[in-house]
Chains A and B, each alone.
Chain A
């Protein structure tokens, strides 16, 4: 394995973590959008309405980790422009419209979420809506970017068609699929979190939605395969032959296992199965597109920067692994623990 290959794997680890954790955050925003109107000023009622409890659960689940989850995006961008500058430039000069819209979505989503509680009463609802809509649109535009890359619409030298490149069948299907998968991942996380804190009604609420969106994502994936067959033959062939096919099968098995756990109402293993389905799909694409970063016009070695730079990226990644991962683990542990604590203390 060359240093360039190692750097691509590092890049792909970042993509995976962003897709799972950032994706779950976007998905939670989608459920927030679909939760219906909550009455922030309803204080005094015996039990707050369901929409309010749904939003509270979403806040509890993503509140402490939402910022850290999105640092993975910065990580991906930085590794791209440092390790693979010509790839970064090719993508940016072709897909600047969906990327700019995704950046706008990130601004609105982040500020909407940050502001929704801090704002005075009447302004909370618009902030919540901004958060929800931006959570829906951002993964869609990111999906169109990935779809455009897969279908070979990004020329290796950049400056591809700024509109046609990402508005084809495959990019649009990929965008929709990203939204569905994000919503699914989020629903599963929320099923687990509300189940763990004994909120049975909320658990059922999210489990029903997880099932519906799982079916939607499954159908979307089938349409996606058809679109790959049509627009991205190289990737399609890679996914239907070894080793891509193994990861596709793994993804399917994990997805079905997650469905089974959802239907039978069990929490144990649910998150692992759902996340496994997504991770296997992401690495399936990696295996299928190998050795290309832009199928079939730019290879990993063709896009790679200077070798000392690639070594530096690997060293920095190792340093990040040593410092960030334990810190992140500490944060997740603390946030899980104190979610339980605030439950027990609220009963006093």
Chain B
């Protein structure tokens, strides 16, 4: 915390207010973005299963999911629009100086967002109006756009961590922009795959947890079983890959952003044979209350306990990430929860391999029921690691966040109001999804109940 205080003092409270505002709105949007990226794929799998085997339950699932996709996409679109405004409203100096470098990624994202919006509408409109084949093909651009959109946004974020593909002239202006180097900077690869897998895991575990709750309440029909198995299988396949990608990403961060890595691991003294410190509180140059495994951190970073790891003491005080304990615990939470989710996937895999069925014990369903919330916790923790860990920089090594922030007044008020507004949005969206699922259970399936859907018959009242 001590690193935070001088910063707040010199940039007034605007910086903290703007960071809170950005952090809150992004942390909210990132969950919806995960659904936008991964939910359509699960919907398509359900439809494909339904059409191939003429499986009524799978088709019903796909149709209902497409409505949930529409509601979530609509909310995600507005929270995403808010973010595009916030880039300028909160960080005008950043956009002014670097917009021409990293903005290209967002231009590409715009295309994918557009295509996703169009084909979601076509897909929802197309139930009963397109041939089964054409309808399934309409979902393919949605899935592809989700991946492409994630790539573009993550490329922009990766660029903030590893700014490349431009030069600065003598007056500090950006020149000689090389768009490909911007897009494919050295952090894009690991950040993109890490986030893409996270999106599939978050969506998969949340969906599976909803149907697990239903099954625990005794609704064990085929519809609920499929609703659990399809997303859980996708998430389970993503989990082991994620452990591998996350491990690679951590090693790359140790090379690319030593200050971030030292903060994540609470390493103060540079040197080899670094212990892996799990949990604990970081203050006054030491970690207390942690579980320490000798040499493991060096082993993880360089496959040898002799690997040298940079400590915070060798980083200038004004370039160390703030809120070190939070950063460290966020990292441990992400890794810990990710590992537990991987074990859940292993449990499913063993049961499926041995008897072609879900594990029979209700403890499995209970574990799945909490996996959705757990996955969101891991997601938000990971996002805190990458964003707080980059501080005090907005563009690593080139621009401090305090230099980027707007001088506009009243951001704390805007932040308070935004929190209320978003809580309202979130509650309404949850209320709607619950009301929809109740209606589906009661067997009422009607058109015109979600955005993009065809209108109800002209005579019916809205």
Contacts and interface: CB of A to CB of B under 8 A. Distances in A.
Contacts of B74: 67, 110-111, 113-114
B458 A346 contact: yes
Contact of B85 (A83, A99, A327): A99
Contacts of B255: none
Contacts, number: 261
Given A107-B81, A306-B174, A100 B129 contact: no
A38 B122 CA distance: 29
A2 interface: no
Contacts of B166: 306
Contact of A305 (B100, B459, B460): B100
A338 B101 CA distance: 44
Interface in A226-246: none
A154 interface: no
Interface string B12-45: 0000000000000000000000000000000000
B110 interface: yes
B414 to A, nearest CB: 7
A111 B125 contact: no
7 contacts: A71-B117, A79-B107, A114-B70, A118-B449, A119-B431, A309-B177, A342-B455
A67 B174 contact: no
B421 A107 contact: yes
Interface stretch (A87-95, A170-178, A254-262): A87-95
A169 interface: no
Contacts of A53: 458
Given A56-B458, A82-B104, A309-B101, 9 more contacts: A38-B461, A43-B461, A74-B110, A88-B88, A92-B406, A103-B82, A306-B166, A308-B177, A328-B118
Contacts of B108: 316
Contacts of B107: 78-79, 82, 312-313, 316
A272 interface: no
A249 interface: no
A118 B99 CA distance: 39
B96 interface: yes
Interface in B99-144: 99-101, 103-104, 106-111, 113-115, 117-122, 125-126, 129, 141
Looking at A71, A113, A335, which has the most chain B CB atoms within 10 Å of its CB?
A71
B104 A342 contact: no
A60 B78 CA distance: 21
B20 to A, nearest CB: 16
A263 interface: no
Given A40-B461, A78-B103, A100-B414, A159 B407 contact: yes
Nearest to A103: B85
Interface of B: 70-71, 73-75, 77-82, 84-85, 87-89, 92-93, 95-101, 103-104, 106-111, 113-115, 117-122, 125-126, 129, 141, 166, 174-179, 406-408, 414, 421, 425, 428-429, 431-432, 435-436, 448-462
A118 B107 CA distance: 32
Contact of A73 (B81, B106, B462): B81
B106 A78 contact: yes
B103 A110 contact: no
Contact of A115 (B87, B117, B120, B428): B428
B175 A100 contact: no
A324 B114 contact: yes
B110 A78 contact: yes
A-B pairs, 3 with minimum CB distance: A82-B103, A305-B100, A85-B99
B88 A77 contact: yes
Interface string A178-201: 000000000000000000010100
Contacts of A52: 461-462
A282 B310 CA distance: 57
A323 interface: yes
B100 A330 contact: no
A221 interface: no
Contacts of B436: 118
A78 B84 contact: yes
Interface majority SS (helix, strand, loop, mixed), chain A: helix
Contact of B104 (A91, A115, A118, A312): A312
A111 B428 contact: yes
B115 A82 contact: no
A83 B114 CA distance: 19
A82 B458 contact: no
Contacts of A335: 121, 125
A42 B461 CA distance: 7
Contacts of A197: 458
A215 interface: no
Given A67-B451, A68-B117, A323-B111, A118 B71 contact: yes
A309 B100 contact: yes
Nearest to B457: A346
A124 B431 CA distance: 12
A339 B425 CA distance: 30
Contact of B179 (A199, A308, A334): A308
A32 to B, nearest CB: 11
A46 to B, nearest CB: 10
A339 B453 CA distance: 11
Contacts of A39: 461
Nearest to B102: A82
A48 B117 contact: no
A205 interface: no
Given A43-B461, A67-B117, A96 B84 contact: no
Contacts of A73: 81
Contact of B92 (A82, A103, A158): A158
B75 A67 contact: no
Contacts of A345: 457
A238 B109 CA distance: 36
Contacts of B425: 107, 111
A85 B84 contact: no
Contact of A60 (B70, B450, B455): B455
A70 interface: yes
A102 B119 CA distance: 27
Contact of A92 (B88, B126, B178, B449): B88
B95 A92 contact: yes
A59 interface: yes
Contacts of A99: 85, 88-89
Contacts of B117: 67-68, 71
Contacts of B71: 114, 118
